Copies of this chain bind each other. A is one copy, B any other.
Amino acid sequence: MTLGFGVVGTGAIGREHIQRITKVVSGAEIAAVTDVNQDAAKKAVEDFNLRASIYEDDTALLKDENVEAVLVTSWGPAHESTVLKAVEAGKFVFVEKPLATTAEGCMRIVEAEQKHGKRLVQVGFMRRYDSGYRQMKEAIDNNFIGEPLMIRCAHRNREVGESYTQDMAILDTLIHEIDTLHWLVGDDYKSIQVTYPKKTKNALEHLKDPQIVTLETKTGIIIHAEIFVNCQFGYDIQCEVIGEEGIVKLPEVATAQYRKDGVLGSGILQDWQSRFNDAFNNEFQDFIDAVRREGQPQGPSAWDGYIAAVTGDAGVKAQQSGQAEPIELPERPDFYQQKKQEEKV
């Protein structure tokens, strides 16, 4: 009954999810692990006291019949290969973003999955599991604000280090908005443009920060997304959808309100881990439950991973060109048709 996970990649994020699966959520266990660094794999087994087999590589791990689902948390360039092998083996897959590093790679997975005949793959976009976004989704699906016309959102980090490069603003930061927003309004993207306001003195020399991304959808919704990764004051995610009949907005995080020293205030979280911890837990519980009960995952699909890849590529191009770059997506296959999701959170 318990879902056996095989973990491919026991680095930081892999360990975090092992912790989540073994200590927080219900209904799964780690059956096997592998890592290009075998010592890391062994250390994970010891540190978390796992009853798990250690394999040389993903191919070997996938042969273990106790492995019913593969958790892909290796580095990005390795994702595609592992996911394809897993799909071929008919195993469930939870793969951290990116699904693959190229749109073509994502498409290969999409095709393999369709050939398999039912969904196996879920991509790790956790925001859809955030209570605030789900409330927004519910309001929009219930037509509470009428047709969505515009979206204003912001993704702010306190600061980033030297390793954070220009394209990461799209591929690592905005990628979450990319996934969440089309899901929120049930629409597809048509174009993306990036503009650069005055640069903050708090960004390192190599980085333009902040950036403003304009996305337009096929039905004409205009989205302005601020990316500001050296905002200094904290980790702050904002999202507001303006519709024909009203507006719905992501709630502020519920931190205790105080009055002190002339200020009516409340704390702003400082990192994404605390902001989305519940979402991560919900995400894994949902994956485990859906797989065990329905025989297929119901979260972000390989198609969603493909959308993210195509949109991300256009976004990076737009960073360079300064123009509105087209986002060319084929028709969504019936296989991946989004049902209006029932609220589970």
Nearest residue, chain B, Cβ from A138: B256
Q: C-beta contact mask, A136-171 vs B, less than 8 Å → 1, else 0?
A: 100100001111111010000000000000000000
Interface size on A, residues (CB 8 A): 74
Q: Which residues from B are CB-within-8-Å of A173?
A: none
A144 B258 Cβ-Cβ under 8 A: yes
A26 at the interface (CB under 8 A from B): yes
Q: Which of A37-45, A110-118, A242-250, A307-315 contacts B (4 or more CB under 8 A)?
A: A242-250
Q: Which of A3-11, A74-82, A90-98, A194-202 contacts B (4 or more CB under 8 A)?
A: A194-202
B248 A261 Cβ-Cβ under 8 A: no
Task: Given A200-B147, A256-B136, decide whether A262 and B234 contact each other with a Cβ distance below 8 A.
Answer: yes
Q: Which of A53-61, A64-72, A215-223, A294-302 contacts B (4 or more CB under 8 A)?
A: A215-223
**Bound CA span A115–B139, Å:** 56
**Bound CA span A196–B221, Å:** 9
The residues of A with any CB-CB pair to B shorter than 8 Å are 1, 22-27, 49, 131-132, 135-136, 139, 144-150, 152, 195-202, 210, 212, 214, 219-222, 224, 226, 228, 231-234, 236, 242, 244-268, 270, 278, 285, 289
